[in-house]
Amino acid sequence: MRIEQDSLGKKKIPDGALWGIQVARALDNFPISGTPTNLELIYAYAQVKKACTQANMELGLLKPALAKPILKAIEEILSGKHDGQFVVDQYQAGAGTSTNMNLNEVIANLARQRRASRLISANDHVNMSQSTNDTYPSALRVAIVTAYDGLDANLKILEDSLKKKGTEFRSIIKSARTHLRDAVPITLGSEFAAYAKTISDFRFVLAQSRAALLVLGLGGSAVGTGLNTHPKYAALAIRHLNKNTGYAFKKAADLIESMQSQKQILQYASALKLAAVEISRIASDLRLLSSGPHTGFNEINLPAVQSGSSMMPGKVNPSILECVNMVCYRVIGAEAAVTQAVLGGQLNLNVNMPLMASELLHATNILSNVTRVMAQKCIRGISPNIERNKKHAYASSALATVLNPIFGYELMAELVTEMSGTGESLPEIILRKKLMTEKEFTKILDPRGMVY
């Protein structure tokens, strides 16, 4: 053990720890979830620290003899070499100061090892021109923008898989359903194509929310005033950040407002919720369409991925889609937590950033992963039960809608009632009553002519 001291007193720190006394106090104070801060946030924060250090060195505020060991330490962190040193719980003191100091202390200790000197300070040098108030929300935005790329790529895989099935199933006639009751004929392909369009639409909404996150309050330091920063520092730090990450972040027009409001974070959470709601709806539809096989709709076959029961031999469940539903429910819940966190901001700072980070990064990752699995292990393997779909299309009483202009509503209502009593299909009743010839009703009642 080694002894470190701060304004609150002395504390023992394990010799192998690169973190210091502020992290040690956070470990004592917040043994909450047992889950440390998300590493994606740590890497994003390291990128912010790197850009800030480069800006300070370029402005002459930080001598190269100090800046270069700091930058080398940051590169080691970004390589994943020191992941185990980021130990602060995801639930911690407000604003994320403990996470910021976890970065500062680890970077400083690594830099000291390189320089063989105690001159490098976690606060004075690694944290120069910075406050948790501006760097934590900036780091969170960098982390979300980075995670978004993977999410959008997997959503595109899902969209393409559904679109392909829409083409494959375009000639398969079935009965539509409204109110969970028989409706007019439709093609199985048009249903899948509609699912693909839904995903395309909310991918656009997500992209818009991602664009809003490119605006950073970096350089505002405490409360957005830019106190203790060089006039050119903010723009220069963001320029370095963009060069290092390949993104196009820009400085907020009002740095004080950027500390007060986290509306862009809520906008992204809401877009994520929209995606989860629609994906879950599609998953539930597919579970209904595959229900049975003998007592349900049984219009499509889902690929079997595992045994469905520990006691019923041969039972196969829609396991992938069940997982999709559960993940979507979790993402929807994340939006509720973020809403409360955003509205809980007070005066010149929202201290609830660690909760926002925990919820949104987790939600983004699990939704990304489950959409990829849904596409690869479920959608791509779906096959249709063609005769079952055709039977349902012709058995639907909604076929009567097509004949309303010919025979009138009242007569068709009587025929539909008769269908229920006799169990005959509408074409069978029409033929028996000689209301049409077979050639006439085949032409008029061909469901293929009723769908686009």
Task: Determine the Cα–Cα distance for residues 205 and 209; give it in Å rounded to an integer.
Answer: 6
**Residue 178: is it exposed, middle or buried by C-beta count within 10 angstroms (0-12/13-18/19+)?**
exposed
CB atoms within 10 A of CB 382: 20
Please confirm, yes or no, whether 258 is among the known catalytic residues: no
Q: Contacts by 98-101 with C-beta closer than 8 Å and gap 24+?
A: 98/22, 98/23, 98/26, 98/30, 99/37, 99/41, 99/42, 99/45, 99/136, 99/354, 100/45, 100/127, 100/130, 100/132, 100/135, 100/136, 101/20, 101/22, 101/23, 101/26
CB atoms within 10 A of CB 245: 17
- Beta carbons of 209 and 268 less than 8 angstroms apart: yes
CB atoms within 10 A of CB 157: 17
- Beta carbons of 96 and 355 less than 8 angstroms apart: no
Q: Which of 280, 309, 383, 420 is catalytic?
A: 309
Catalytic residue IDs: 309
